[in-house]
Amino acid sequence: MDKKNAIAATGRRKCASARVRIDAGSGKITVNGQKFEEYFETEALRGYVMQPLNVSGAAEAYDIDASVVGGGKAGQAGAIRHGIARALVLTDENYKSVLKSSGMLTRDSRVKERKKPGQPGARRRFQFSKR
């Protein structure tokens, strides 16, 4: 991939962070050096990553190279989706209105709530005993 013409963007979701490079091409996607289909085994995660490309109609117009760290597969898919959407806006401002109305440019800030002291989980309490 030619790094001079490539446009880079960062996407985040939960604990995952993705650096996405987008370049004019034929629609080839690689994630951490692996083929897109090998990295994301389930069709649901693949569809989630492809949403910004399908909504903007640019699925076959760009080659995408993503490197993602942290989190699980679902968080990584969300981070790549966010990064692709941001990179598409940098390539062409016309994509912004479509992607923004679809909610793909907004970072999903929901993260796991921390465990509180004196209880077994974030919200769970120990069973109340009157006696």
Q: What is the distance between the alpha carbons of residues 4 and 77, in angstroms, rounded to a whole number?
A: 26
CB atoms within 10 A of CB 16: 21
Q: Tell if the pTM clears 0.85, that is, is over it.
A: yes
With 90 as the cut, is the pLDDT of residue 3 above it? Answer: no
With 70 as the cut, is the pLDDT of residue 2 above it? Answer: no
Domains belonging to the chain, first-starting first, are: 7-101 (3.30.230.10)
Q: What is the rounded average pLDDT for all residues in the chain?
A: 93
The pLDDT value recorded for residue 59 is: 86
Mean pLDDT of the region 55-70: 93
pLDDT tens across 83-103, in order?
999 999 999 999 999 999 999
With 90 as the cut, is the pLDDT of residue 42 above it? Answer: yes
